A = this chain, B = another copy of it.
């Protein structure tokens, strides 16, 4: 039994403006329209037995979005979610996942821990590595996956390997991100690997080794686990109070760097952590002038080595070299490839001034679908609202705004005051301020509706929720 445990967290602030706090890196879509999380689900499912389940550990804010990605993947395995009330690093997440796996499948069940925001190009090699890692994990080893380095990278931690084992090697030590000279030495030495952050071990082994090397973390995590209400459900919510008591520490630091039971499976499988726009650029094919465009209308005049991540607008580069241009509906980034790491400084600056653009996209995801603010003016706001088939907004009321709804695609069921009506494509309805109302998509196609709000105050916080099928009332 091999249970994939997907760790889906991390803001990915170096991938701003596409990755944002409210829509972080795992949900970032690549050129094929698939998110990193969806690709991770597929990759994991392909190596796991279909009898088991796939466990996602993520922040509770990302539950509905994650569930949508899982549904898109159409997997044979059951999906479970362990929802964190706050970010707490990898050791607490892995420990709670281990308790869950041990409870549900026994201490011998193997866990395959995978970050949700990496890319692996060669699935067959990944599968081979997982097979080797599983064999080692069954002997009680805590197995890491070491990526065969292709360059003296200074942005990754390294694993130094020692004596050979069946299917892998012993780990001599973990080393922090090196400087360039040291990284070159590692590359030459031949027994150093990039630490990928992927692991394989049995639930029992990781619980035992954690208890041995980080007893305080293990004890706090156990208390936290016991406080989870319904361990049989597919959605396990972690209580904030007991979770906050678990030390904020990485699995590497808590146990991997201390245990003598750690092994590494070297693998060369087209791995990328998509750590920055420079890594995203590598996924596209350059033209004759080494220019690359992910999408959109890019025009290059007398320019070279320019990467354009477009968003439908025309992007023209004239007489420029060595640039990455990342366009999004409400924010634009122009960055030198060598400074790709510094994009996080922009996010920090936006956060300091509490600017929406560090957190939200123009399109905001909700459990029932999405809304996109098309325009805001004095006393009016226009939104495109998309409601998934079968989904329903809460029964709600606004004190300060009226709403005009025009259905442009699909069919809406609308509660408007005392009436319940159906509004089809090219029909409209009007919700006066103070009226209780609810919007629902009773159909099998997406419902697309234009909402024109009118009123003296149009903040999102002018909402009274009476009923909500997503528990937000």
Question: Could you tell me which A residues sit within 8 Å of B by CB distance?
Answer: 16-17, 297, 299, 301-302, 313-320, 323, 325, 327, 329-336, 338-339, 342-343, 345-346, 349-350, 355, 357, 374-375, 377-380, 382, 384, 402, 404, 406, 408-409, 425-426, 428, 430, 448, 450, 452, 454-455
Contacts and interface: CB of A to CB of B under 8 A. Distances in A.
Contacts of A333: 316, 318
Contacts of A16: 316
A337 to B, nearest CB: 9
Contact of A377 (B320, B402, B426, B448): B448
B331 A334 contact: no
B357 A380 contact: no
B339 A334 contact: no
Given A380-B409, A382-B374, A404-B428, A318 B342 contact: yes
A428 B425 contact: no
A390 to B, nearest CB: 21
Contacts of A336: 318-320
A3 B377 CA distance: 42
Contacts of A313: 329-332
Contact of A319 (B317, B335, B409): B335
Nearest to A301: B345
A377 B408 contact: yes
A428 B430 contact: yes
Nearest to A384: B375
Contacts of A323: 320, 323, 334
Contact of A301 (B346, B380, B452): B346
B345 A318 contact: yes
A375 B314 CA distance: 16
